[in-house]
Structure 1
């Protein structure tokens, strides 16, 4: 950027060039970054970031995240996981088997609807009650895997 466009050129000729007369232009008078959140910046932290300080809940030592890893898929999306050629062949007699674990999902939840008059067999590690009910109402079945 050329000198003539710089901000400090604009204020030249005015006594203190936008930095005030009394406090003067100093480097970091109130601290850098989040300094003073518990002290002189308390009002700002309380107003815009309530609950920023302090603890809540219990600690879980040595938590194994993998134990809780359970990606979900809703039944309205299950049918979109099936390849098109399988969809074309699917009938009431030729029911497609959808193994959601192959697509990286562990749990099937019950949001949405399945296509009418087309039963499906769903294979998953976990299935919610509502999802199981909807799959069975459509004439399908649920297979639970380990």
Structure 2
């Protein structure tokens, strides 16, 4: 006969009469892992990045060609925050043209 719920409903008894099953087939089911951050502020970790090889794309092709053909002593100033980047990473290579990065 079907006797409704003889072992309890759902996962009942995981720490009691069904412990062998939980320990054998679901190790680590009970307990805590890691550390809690009670007041998580995600905006503190916001830091958009750009690589060196993409740096000259911010300047623009017209400005780049103007600087390379002149052979002047002027170095373009690139303000990364103005373009929405906070960190400059080192992948890629820059041309020999000097540049100032803020």
User: One fold, TM greater than 0.5?
Assistant: yes
- Calculate the TM-score normalised by the size of structure 1: 0.45
Aligned to 1:104: 84
Aligned to 1:121: 100
Query: Aligned partners of 1:83, 1:110: CA distance in 2, in Å?
Result: 20
How far is the alpha carbon of 1:122 from its aligned partner?
0.5
Q: How many residues align?
A: 81
Aligned to 1:70: 47
How far is the alpha carbon of 1:105 from its aligned partner?
0.7
Query: Aligned partners of 1:81, 1:54: CA distance in 2, in Å?
Result: 50
Please point out which of 71, 74, 89 is paired with 2:66: 89
- The alpha-carbon distance between structure 1 residues 84 and 56, as it changes in their structure 2 partners (threshold 3 A), is same
**Structure 1 unpaired stretches of 5+:** 1-34, 124-146
- Calculate the TM-score normalised by the size of structure 2: 0.62
- The alpha-carbon distance between structure 1 residues 96 and 54, as it changes in their structure 2 partners (threshold 3 A), is farther
Query: Aligned partners of 1:53, 1:107: CA distance in 2, in Å?
Result: 41
- The alpha-carbon distance between structure 1 residues 87 and 59, as it changes in their structure 2 partners (threshold 3 A), is same
Aligned to 1:21: none
RMSD (Å) for aligned C-alpha atoms: 2.9
**Structure 2 unpaired stretches of 5+:** 1-9, 15-20
Question: Secondary structure in 1 aligned to 2:53?
Answer: helix
Query: Aligned partners of 2:29, 2:64: CA distance in 1, in Å?
Result: 51
In the alignment, structure 1 residue 60 sits paired with structure 2 residue 40: no
